[in-house]
Amino acid sequence: MASISTCFTGFCGLREGEHGFSHGIRPGGVVESDKLPADVRKRAMEAVDACGGRVTIGDVASRAGLNLNQAQKTLQALAADTDGFLEVSDEGDVLYVFPKDYQSKLAAKSFRMKVEPLIEKAKATAEYLIRVSFGTALIASIVIVYTTIIALLSSRSEEDNRGRRGGRSYDSGFTFYFSPTDLFWYWDPYYYRRRQVQIDDDGKMNFIESVFSFVFGDGDPNQGIEEERWKLIGQYISSNGGVVTAEELAPYLDLQNTEQIMNDESYILPVLLRFDGQPEIDEEGNILYRFPSLQRTASSQRSRRKEYVGRRWADWIGLEKFFSEKKWQFSKTGAAERAMVIGLGGANLLGVIILGAMLKDIAVTPSGLIKFVSGIFPLLQIYAGSFFAIPLIRWFLVRKRNAEIEKRNKAREQVARTLELPDPSLRRKLLSARDLAQKTVIGQDRIVYSTDRDIIEQDIEAQEWDRRFREIEKSE
């Protein structure tokens, strides 16, 4: 109970200005929210909006999938920057309350939030340019290689008709005027804005992008899945009164096999660390996990009812299926695009091999186009070789990665099926968790102190709180 008195004293000390947090923010001062990672700030703000602007740390942690420390630091920073204020309940719970226009206030103060959209656009443009650069390089390489081969063949056919003098340079008669940048005329600099629209209904992409897709793939299909996973876990724990079994969370976690659940429950440790959970034993000796911070909320949403136990697991948690990872694709290119890419890549590789043999036969110093190509020939070799070496290595890695994903998905599916119709022992364990579930909604009637009001107006409430606290201390 000592924490209640300490909490009250500490938050009373914040009350130095018109609005507790905002008093310390001066024009041109540091914007605390700019110190936060952008994704953490956005997820926390989404959680605040979903809860109506009045939240506990547990509300934000569960809805945004943040750990408790992240949620607390983020709420403190947002409150400091947006004239938010704190409320303290009769049990020492701290609530953060934000004005309706807190986002516009933050956007007006934060330079980082103003430039973030520009940075995102710049990143998207850079990513697109990298993708099309690789495809452009293939076309440029083919043009350069075969133009040089033709020049060498043409020069050899005219060699007998030319007089030779000692030290005369080998000149093909061609002047190098071609630049790879000449191919950029067909680039669409605004393509990244319309990418989702421009991809055909059958999933095809343009040829330039298909080259990069074939060689390097299309990125992680599970990007952002970790954030979604923690959101689901946090919301599930909160909606079930903050007390759950390990089996309930297993379908969200990474399991190698179902035997792992039977032998030990160590797989739940990341959840305990993230949401400050603690194990406890029920009357029958079952191990349950309680998350006190997720049991206290400013939201009036009801917890799940006990009679949901025994129904389908998917119905119980409100999902249509268990949590699953998407498998990696080697490439999203269609069969026609892939055949064209392989054909042109093969033609380029063949041309580089032929050109390499021809350049070795040159006995005199080359000039013009041939001299230029001789200088960049190692780069042409690296490009031609990596064009097929990288996809080959990636193909093996994709197969291995997909096998691991399939194994984890299968284990989660098997656990989910056991929860659809639990056996008697598991059913009793689930019922025990629901019996111990507790969700405390902190309404305005339980607020004893607020940094939004003058301390003089709250003296009576503060004295009453201190009096109750002293009585509890004496009884202990």
The reported pLDDT for the residue numbered 12 is 44
Tens of pLDDT, residues 121-163: 998 888 888 888 888 899 999 999 999 999 888 877 665 455 4
Q: Is residue 191 a contact partner of residue 387, using CB atoms and an 8 Å limit?
A: no
- Which of 265-269, 347-351, 389-393 has the least mean pLDDT? 265-269
Tens of pLDDT, residues 392-401: 999 999 999 9
Kindly state the percentage of the chain with pLDDT values over 70.
Answer: 71
Greater confidence, 87 or 184? 87
Q: Which two tokens stand for residue 141?
A: 């390489």
**Ramachandran angles phi, psi of 299, nearest 5°:** -90, 145
State the average pLDDT over residues 361-377.
Answer: 80
Greater confidence, 152 or 27? 152
3-state secondary structure of 215: helix
Tens of pLDDT, residues 424-445: 888 999 999 999 998 888 888 8
The reported pLDDT for the residue numbered 347 is 94
The reported pLDDT for the residue numbered 68 is 94
Tens of pLDDT, residues 90-130: 888 899 999 999 999 998 888 888 888 899 899 888 888 88
Tens of pLDDT, residues 267-320: 899 999 999 999 999 888 899 999 999 999 987 655 444 444 444 444 544 444
Give the closest residue to 33 by CA, choosing from 87, 107, 118: 107
Q: Which two tokens stand for residue 397?
A: 């890695």
Q: Is pLDDT at 165 greater than 60 in this prediction?
A: no
Count of alpha carbons within 13 Å of 392, Cβ hemisphere only? 6
3-state secondary structure of 366: strand
Q: Is pLDDT at 14 greater than 80 in this prediction?
A: no
Q: Is pLDDT at 82 greater than 80 in this prediction?
A: yes
**Ramachandran angles phi, psi of 223, nearest 5°:** -65, 130
The reported pLDDT for the residue numbered 186 is 40
The CA-atom distances, in angstroms, between 210 and each of 134, 181, 204, 348 are 10, 20, 9, 16
Alpha helices in 199-334 (DSSP H): 207-216, 225-239, 246-249, 259-263, 269-275, 313-317
Helix axes 459-475, 2-13, angle to 10 degrees: 160
Tens of pLDDT, residues 455-473: 555 555 555 656 566 666 5
- Which of 36-45, 343-352, 364-373, 379-388 has the least mean pLDDT? 364-373
CA 126 to chain centre: 19
Any idea which residue has 């994903």 for tokens?
A: 405
Tens of pLDDT, residues 239-274: 999 999 999 998 898 887 766 666 678 889 999 999
**Ramachandran angles phi, psi of 293, nearest 5°:** -65, -25
Q: Whole-prediction pTM value?
A: 0.75
Q: What is the mean pLDDT of the chain?
A: 78
State the average pLDDT over residues 327-355.
Answer: 91
State the average pLDDT over residues 19-46.
Answer: 73
Domains and CATH numbers, the chain: 2-109+451-475 (1.10.10.10), 118-291+319-440 (no CATH)
List Cβ neighbours of 201 (8 Å cut-off, separation of 6 or more): none
The reported pLDDT for the residue numbered 365 is 67
Tens of pLDDT, residues 197-210: 344 444 556 788 88
3-state secondary structure of 304: coil
DSSP-derived letter for residue 147 is H
Any idea which residue has 């110093």 for tokens?
A: 365
Q: Is pLDDT at 55 greater than 90 in this prediction?
A: yes
State the average pLDDT over residues 74-103.
Answer: 91
CA 338 to chain centre: 29
Q: Is pLDDT at 22 greater than 50 in this prediction?
A: no
State the average pLDDT over residues 49-59.
Answer: 92
State the average pLDDT over residues 73-96.
Answer: 90
pLDDT band at 89 (very low <50, low <70, confident <90, very high): confident
The reported pLDDT for the residue numbered 48 is 94
- Taking the C-alpha atoms of residue 226 and residue 356, their distance in angstroms, rounded to an integer, is 48
What's the angle, vertex CA 310, arms to CA 307 and CA 313, rounded to 5?
Answer: 105
The reported pLDDT for the residue numbered 378 is 93
